[in-house]
Structure 1
Amino acid sequence: MRIPGDGEIRALHERLAPSREAFELVWTHCGIVCRIAEQLMDAGGLDVDKELVRAGCLLHDVGVYRLYDITGELDHRQYVRHGVLGHELLAGEGFPEVLCRFCSHHTGMGLTRDDVERQNLPLPPADYLAETAEERLVMYADKFHSKTDPPSFVNASSYAVHVRRFGGGKVAAFKRMREEYGEPDLGPLAAEYGHTLV
């Protein structure tokens, strides 16, 4: 399988983004998630395909572009759909399923069919769970940076509090990943990007 390089992925983002502001927000976030994943890989000696992780990080949020309306506003109520929208976008561009899954399988700590049905989420009923080592790492790294206005880094303790509202299973899943991968050193990245650390 051919894995696209950074330049090709950036060009895709630029083409899909409805505005320069949307591109900057999403592309910067994806790059930060990539930096976090690389930090975790370097610290933990993880047995993962680093090139695949890099591409997954840089592609995981392309579906966000489809949630901007004509005025440039992001539809926050439909945000949970960004993963499946990204999967559809990449599939339509001819990307292999292994890359498309980074979009649809990174949301929260994973979504089960039961989550979708019980919460009445606007998604096709299915399991959207990170399964491969690469998918799990991208999903985990994504938890440490938020595209909020303004964007911010999120430490592990803050995310652990946030995830409680989604139930004990999600709390336990995050705890297991924290033990498996460790915690990234976010201070230097927050300083470099000028984003707060919460």
Structure 2
Amino acid sequence: MPIFINQNVYPGEFLLHKKYAATDTVLDLIWTHSNIIVDVCLYLLDHYDFDKTELVREVVIQAALLHEVGVYACGGFEWVPGQPPSSRPYIQHGVIGAWILQQEGYAPPVVQAAFCHIGMGLTAEDIRSHGLDLPQVDMFPQTELQRFMTYASKFHSKTPQFRTNQEIKDSLAKFSPEKVSLFESLEKHYGVPDLDPIKEKYGEWEKGFSFKVEQLTKAQKTLNLNPAGIPNANV
């Protein structure tokens, strides 16, 4: 097994990822992405002056580490040898992740942060109007932790790729202008992270990540997958 970043720093969270990951390749991608989001969160906490009363540092770290755990049960990783197929669409990973975390006994704030981090959060009307394969209930950030996690998690994707605030806005604009406005309000409140030191920290990992888009077969390319094998159509 490869050595994963911070696996000994956050052993409990790493073991939970390992429990649900079917392959080391997907574990490497999701675990490292989650650690990058931790670093984004900590940068914002350490460099900007906003009300942090409700943002307990240890809870923020745990929420960032675990918000993507539902990805392991969803489709989109069929390109990985040994990865079992899943009939669950990728967009359900927030709902599934929240269920996993609840079953594993994690605190409600961590569970709910996973539940509502998709996009900038989804309302029941968003789900109905866009025909998303999700329960028609509000999955919209309500607490400070939920808003903070939803915002911070946008700065790195599972492609894997860092995203500037403008790239995030351009992506959200394809969904609705209201989501862009919401992002801008959080941007003003929390600040914009300097991604350069985080990019430098993870640069060698990104270069060496085992999956290359050239490895896709012709059949896989017809699925419209992004460089991480995740369907581009999903949020």
Q: Which runs of 4+ in 1 moved over 4 A?
A: 68-71, 73-77
Q: Whole-Å Cα distance in 2 between the matches of residues 86 and 139 of structure 1? A: 14
Q: Whole-Å Cα distance in 2 between the matches of residues 86 and 185 of structure 1? A: 28
8 Å CA contact retained: 1:56, 1:135: no
Q: Are positions 1:49 and 2:56 aligned together?
A: yes
Offset, 1:51: 1.1
TM-score by length of 2: 0.76
Q: Give ranges in structure 1 of 5+ residues lacking alignment.
A: none
Q: Are positions 1:157 and 2:166 aligned together?
A: yes
Offset, 1:117: 0.8
In structure 1, what is the equivalent of residue 147 of structure 2?
A: 136
What do residues 118-141 of structure 1 show as CA deviations (whole Å, max 9, x unaligned)? Answer: 111111111111111111111111
8 Å CA contact retained: 2:155, 2:165: yes
In structure 2, what is the equivalent of residue 31 of structure 1?
A: 35
8 Å CA contact retained: 1:53, 1:135: no
Aligned residues: 190
Secondary structure at the aligned position of 2:174 is classed as: helix
What do residues 73-114 of structure 1 show as CA deviations (whole Å, max 9, x unaligned)? Answer: 787982110000101111121223222111111110110000
Q: Which amino acid aligns with 1:60?
A: H
Residues 21-100 of structure 1 correspond to what in structure 2 (within 5 A)?
21-46=25-50, 47=52, 48-68=55-75, 71-72=82-83, 78-100=89-111
Q: Which amino acid aligns with 2:132?
A: L
Q: Please say which of residues 45-54 and 179-188 is displaced more in the overlay.
A: 45-54
In structure 2, what is the equivalent of residue 111 of structure 1?
A: 122
8 Å CA contact retained: 2:74, 2:88: no
8 Å CA contact retained: 2:13, 2:66: yes
CA RMSD of aligned residues (A): 2.1
Taking structure 1 as reference, are residues 27 and 37 closer, same or farther at Cα in structure 2, changes over 3 Å only? same
Q: Which amino acid aligns with 1:88?
A: W
In structure 1, what is the equivalent of residue 23 of structure 2?
A: 19
Percent identity between matched residues is 33
Q: Are positions 1:173 and 2:182 aligned together?
A: yes
Q: Whole-Å Cα distance in 2 between the matches of residues 154 and 77 of structure 1? A: 26
Point out the structure with max Rg over C-alpha: 2
TM-score by length of 1: 0.89
Q: Give ranges in structure 2 of 5+ residues lacking alignment.
A: 1-8, 208-235
